[in-house]
Chains A and B, each alone.
Chain A
Amino acid sequence: MLSKKEKQLIREIWERLTPVAEDIGADALLRMFASYPGTKTYFSHLDIGPGSAHLSSHGKKIVLAIAEGAKDISQLTVTLAPLQTLHAYQLRIDPTNFKLLSYCLLVTLACYMGEGFTPEAHAAIDKFLSAFSAVLAEKYR
């Protein structure tokens, strides 16, 4: 459950991350590949080494999609409809991986925001990313 205050906090944080979407996204992905090597299996068709163009563009895509969702959390199902279809029918990424990337995003934010990543911000974003992941997996079955 997200309070009004939390929704605003989430909106503000992801708005600030939008200009650095590439860096945030690439960092989170790299952390995920390092901590959970099984996740690399979804990227065998891309070059996901540190600094690679694929990593940056892919990281950017993901962060911008999350930022878009953050703008109006009550409309997540509408905003994510195309991505739901993509993930369910084409990408078919096992949804447990959403949790792994979500956690790595939290660590990236902690590194990036330092003290600014307060327990309140941490809790709000953790809840938001859980909701986001759940909506993303809705069309799977």
Chain B
Amino acid sequence: MVTWTDFERATIQDIFSKIDYDIVGPDALSRCLIVYPWTQRYFGSFGNLYNAAAIASNPKVAAHGKVVLGGLEKALKNMDDIKQAYADLSVLHSEKLQVDPDNFKLLADCLTIVVASQLGKDFTPEVHAAFAKFLAVVVAALRKQYH
């Protein structure tokens, strides 16, 4: 059972209210594909991923980035039982998409960096730690149904 302090709950809600999903989602996914190029293995149907510029301007990457960030809404709305809320998504990623769960951490790290560059000074060490904890819980929930 994950317990959240009042500070953590408030901080996480605050971060999501401040970020533009349509920018952060695409940025985080394209950053992941650029910084960790082996993650491109899951996106063979996305067309041109040959270099950073192509990835950053690829409309399929952008669209998918929005989908991924939208998926975090579910965790945000069910913070007290993210494991349960993500059960189906976990099965989807393991059985159908067959994504190596180590990749979840890579995307989470890129998302943290995009949010950090958006919030600048406001992304203090404490805010950062709260956000990192939230993403760690999400990642653990996504890993849960792998067997």
- Taking beta carbons and an 8 Å cutoff, which residues of A are in contact with B? 27, 30-31, 33-35, 103, 106-107, 110-115, 117, 119-120, 122-123, 126
- Taking beta carbons and an 8 Å cutoff, which residues of B are in contact with A? 30-31, 34-35, 52, 55-56, 109, 112-114, 116-121, 123, 125-126, 128-129, 132
From A34, A113, A115, B128 is in contact (CB under 8 Å) with A34
What residues of A have a CB within 8 angstroms of the CB of B56 in the complex?
A: 119
Instruction: Please determine whether A110 and B129 come into contact, CB atoms closer than 8 angstroms.
Output: no
A33-B52 contact, Cβ under 8 Å, with A107-B113, A110-B116, A122-B113: no
Bound complex: CA A120 to CA B55 (Å):
12
From A31, A103, A110, A120, B117 is in contact (CB under 8 Å) with A110
A31-B125 contact, Cβ under 8 Å, with A114-B120, A115-B117: yes
A34-B126 contact, Cβ under 8 Å, with A103-B109, A119-B52, A120-B34: yes
What residues of B have a CB within 8 angstroms of the CB of A111 in the complex?
A: 116-117, 119-121, 123
Cβ distance B108 to chain A, nearest Cβ, rounded Å: 11
Q: 20 additional contacts, CB 8 Å, given A119-B34, A122-B34?
A: A31-B129, A34-B128, A35-B129, A103-B109, A107-B113, A107-B128, A110-B114, A110-B117, A110-B123, A111-B117, A111-B119, A111-B121, A111-B123, A114-B117, A114-B118, A119-B30, A119-B52, A122-B113, A123-B34, A126-B35
